[in-house]
């Protein structure tokens, strides 16, 4: 077990309570979602269910974090 | 069709097609080049590969997980190669709803992330958990842990035993308790990330529902 925080364990077991999209739909929408975030727009309203999916799926969450940081670094340069 | 209800959308691949918006010059140039041949096409592919390699290196550097420098570079290059093939195969799917670079980057980030996860687990066996309660208690910090929390975990373990199928239980324990990356589990079970997440989603929903009914 990598994480010893009990609340986090419960969160991983029960997952996000709200409606969420799946991994494939997340991948399809991720670029638009990230560009909206970087532009300061309401990405959550534009792609409902994606944020909840990121809470429930560590792999998609990691890829979202990386893409967001990568696009932000492009914006700065 | 909405892709945002609790179940609809899981496993779905594509979204409704939206009209393409005005493209930035770099995106336009790359997209136009695919209609060309010879040197123009090759140059465009080389520029695209350079873009993807940068994204793959960025991801590998963030998630090195014990990789040696040489291994990291090999993984990043392989990820960029695979991402280039994926981008070229799916160019017609680009809807112009994001920058082309962001759209292309996501393929490289995905390929690199998956390769790093699989590399980290290449010599590891999947944990076998027959005792769900033992697996859950294995994650607790120690005997001083809140009694109420232990009781809650006991209820969850009982719910997992009675409400879930053996496959759902195995997937939930592997992903949520033992921290097996979903791509690694998908490969070992000969399935896909999307299909596996659907199993995880259904298991979580059944677990929540069972707990609500019994509490």
The answer on pLDDT for B143 being more than 70 is no
A8-17, A25-34, B107-116: which has the minimum mean pLDDT?
A8-17
pLDDT value at position B22? 60
In chain B, pLDDT over 90 holds for what percent of residues?
53
Give the per-residue pLDDT at A6. Answer: 77
- In this prediction, residue B19 carries a pLDDT of 45
A9 touches chain B (CB under 8 A): yes
Cβ pair B203, B172 in contact under 8 A: yes
Residue B125 in tokens: 């066996």
Beta carbons of B97 and A31 less than 8 Å apart? yes
Q: Please report whether residue A48 resides in a domain.
A: yes
Q: What is the pLDDT of residues A41-72, one digit of tens each?
A: 999 999 999 999 999 999 999 999 999 999 99
When the pLDDT of each residue in chain A is averaged and rounded to a whole number, the result is 92
Q: How confident is the model at residue B10 (pLDDT cuts 50, 70, 90)?
A: very low
Domain boundaries, chain B: 25-120, 132-214
- pLDDT tens digits, residue range B108-121? 999 999 999 999 99
> Between chains, do A10 and B156 touch, taking CB under 8 Å as contact?
yes
Answer whether B52's CB lies under 8 Å from B108's CB.
yes
Kindly report the average pLDDT of chain B as a whole number. 83
Report the C-alpha gap between B170 and B164 in whole angstroms.
Answer: 9
pLDDT of B142 reads: 58
Indicate whether B127 pLDDT > 50: yes
CA distance B66 to B57: 15
Q: Is the pLDDT of residue B18 over 90?
A: no
Question: What pLDDT, on the 0 to 100 scale, is given for residue B13?
Answer: 36
Q: Mean pLDDT, to the nearest integer, of A19-44?
A: 98
Q: Which of A63-67, B62-66, B85-89, B124-128 has the highest mean pLDDT?
A: A63-67
* pTM of the full structure: 0.86
Q: What is the pLDDT of residue A57?
A: 98
Domain B132-214 has CATH 3.30.450.40: no
Number of Cβ within 10 Å of residue B61's Cβ equals: 13
CB contacts, 8 Å: A23 with chain B: 182, 193-194, 197
Maximum Cα–Cα distance for chain B, whole Å?
Answer: 70
Q: What pLDDT was estimated at residue A16?
A: 95
**CATH architecture under which domain B25-120 falls:** Orthogonal Bundle (1.10)
Is residue A45, in this structure, part of any structural domain at all?
Answer: yes
What is the distance between the alpha carbons of residues A31 and A44, in angstroms, rounded to a whole number? 13
Q: How far apart are the C-alpha atoms of B33 and B176, rounded to whole Å? A: 45
> Distance between CA B18 and CA A15 in Å, rounded?
31
pLDDT of residue B42: 86
In a domain, A36, yes or no: yes
* pLDDT at residue B145, as a whole number: 58
Beta-carbon contacts of residue B108 (< 8 Å; ≥ 6 apart): B51, B52, B53, B54, B55, B56, B59, B79, B80, B83
Residue B130 has pLDDT above 70, yes or no: no
Q: Could you read off the pLDDT of B155-201 as tens digits, one per residue? A: 888 999 999 999 999 999 999 999 999 999 999 999 999 999 999 99
Number of domains in chain A: 1
Q: Which residues of B touch A15 (CB under 8 A)?
A: 200-201, 204-205, 208
**Residue A1 domain flag:** no
Chain B contact present for A75, CB below 8 A: no
Give the structural domain span for A48: 6-76
For residue A63, the surrounding DSSP H or E stretch is helix A58-76
A24 touches chain B (CB under 8 A): yes
Query: What count of other Cβ atoms lies within 10 Å of the Cβ of residue B146?
Result: 11
For residues B122-140, average pLDDT: 74
């Amino acid at each position: 077990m990598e994480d010893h925080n009990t609340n986090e364990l419960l969160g991983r077991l029960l997952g996000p309570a709200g409606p969420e999209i799946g991994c494939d739909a997340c991948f399809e929408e991720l670029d638009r979602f990230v560009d909206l975030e970087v532009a300061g727009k309401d990405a959550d309203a534009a792609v409902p269910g994606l944020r909840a999916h990121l809470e429930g799926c560590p792999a998609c969450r990691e890829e979202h974090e990386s893409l967001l940081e990568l696009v932000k670094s492009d914006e700065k340069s | 069709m909405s892709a945002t209800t609790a179940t609809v959308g899981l496993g779905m691949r594509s979204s409704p097609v939206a009209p393409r918006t005005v493209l930035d010059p770099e995106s336009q140039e790359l997209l136009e080049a695919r209609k060309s041949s010879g040197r123009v096409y090759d140059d465009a592919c080389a520029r695209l590969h350079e873009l993807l390699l940068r994204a793959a290196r960025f991801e590998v550097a963030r998630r090195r997980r014990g990789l040696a420098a040489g291994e990291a570079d090999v993984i990043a290059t392989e990820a960029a190669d695979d991402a280039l093939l994926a981008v070229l195969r799916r160019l017609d799917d680009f809807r112009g709803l994001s920058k082309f670079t962001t759209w292309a980057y996501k393929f490289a980030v995905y390929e690199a992330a998956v390769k790093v996860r699989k590399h980290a687990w290449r010599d590891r066996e999947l944990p076998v958990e027959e005792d769900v309660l033992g697996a859950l208690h294995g994650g607790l910090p120690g005997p001083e842990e809140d009694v109420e929390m232990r009781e809650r975990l006991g209820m969850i373990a009982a719910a997992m035993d009675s409400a879930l199928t053996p496959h759902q239980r195995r997937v939930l324990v592997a992903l949520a308790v033992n921290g097996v990356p979903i791509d690694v589990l998908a490969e070992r079970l000969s399935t896909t990330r999307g299909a596996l997440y659907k199993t995880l989603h259904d298991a979580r929903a059944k677990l929540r529902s069972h707990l609500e009914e019994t509490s």
